[in-house]
Amino acid sequence: MRIFVTGASGWIGSAVVPELIEAGHQVAGLARSEASAAALTAAGAEAVRGTVDDLDVLRSEAAASDGVIHLAFKHDIAFSGDFRGAAEADRRAVDAFGDALEGTGRPFVIASGVAGLVTGRVATEQDRPTVDGSPTSVRAATSEAVLRLASRGVRSSVVRLAPTCHGDGDNGFMASLVAMARAHGTSGYIGDGANRWPAVHRLDAARLFRLAVEKAPAGSVLHGIAEEGVAVRDIAEVIGRHLDVPVASVAPEDAAEHFSWLGGFLSLDAPASHALTTELLGWTPTRPGLLEDLEKGHYFAAPDSSAHA
């Protein structure tokens, strides 16, 4: 199949592209810069210049492909104060893809998340997000719209990823926690630190996206979760040991000041299961778990001072 991938040079996409190519697929990836285009070409993919705002490009590439994996999201503006704007741009892109794929029976897979899906229990693929008009629920509404495309002749599916998608080269939540611990001289957690984060290695996640585009039934919700929940205090303890800094609780009322933008996420208790995904697609994670990955040490390499020279 020829698969069009947005976010193809990003953290997940750069693992999805070789996963698809090694399985015999042709890949065209959306590239918003020359550097991204060069990375895609080097990986053996076709580079398509454009951004998620170029709706005509998205429609034409979807029409010319056997399937679409949509991973792009405007994280730069989302985490600098305009999450709603990023989510609304994402919805426009998804609607463009839906219009192009309607009636074709072709696969359309998007990335979503499990954080905040439910409270007080383990989330499953059968749970649905709350759509209440809040900025974060705009993105949840988009995932629901993708599932409804099944009734319009699209083999649509949603891969809900763990908030911690880890691996060597990660610049996400784990890297941010390490940087904050280094800056504060303390590896912190909120309250008693018993709240849990699900986790998945990026290479396991990449394999799930491939399986989804190859064979997920229309309207499927899939969980990119390898570990149901890792206690945040356990994460903080590994970080503290590797950086040789104390591990300490941060009061909930001080979390925003100490952890900045990460404070709201770090307080979540968000365990989630992948049992139904494994049953449906035979996906079984095989890569190292989060704590094992942290123990490898790559998250603790000294920052490159030359980047600021």
- For residue 18, CA distances in Å to 34, 43, 210, 252 come to 19, 7, 10, 42
Percent of the chain residues topping a pLDDT of 70: 97
How confident is the model over 234-271, as pLDDT tens digits? 999 999 999 999 999 999 999 999 998 888 888 889 99
Amino acid 69: pLDDT: 98
Model confidence at 132: pLDDT above 50: yes
Q: Decide if pLDDT at 91 tops 70.
A: yes
Pairing state of beta strands 196-201 and 227-231?
Answer: antiparallel
**In the numeric block, which tokens belong to residue 162?**
């763990």
* DSSP-derived secondary structure for 56-116: HHHHHHHHTSSEEEE----HHHHTTT-HHHHHHHHHHHHHHHHHHHTTS--EEEEEEE-TT
Planar angle of CA 32, 38, 39, nearest 5 degrees: 90
Q: How far is CA 79 from the centre of its chain?
A: 14
pLDDT score at 176: 93
d(CA 115, CA 123): 9
Distances (CA, A) of 245 to 161, 186, 238, 298: 30, 5, 10, 17
Asked if residue 219 lies in contact with residue 150, where contact means CB atoms within 8 angstroms, the answer is: yes
For the entire predicted model, the pTM comes to 0.94
Reply yes or no on whether the pLDDT at 304 is more than 70. Answer: no
pLDDT at 305 over 70: no
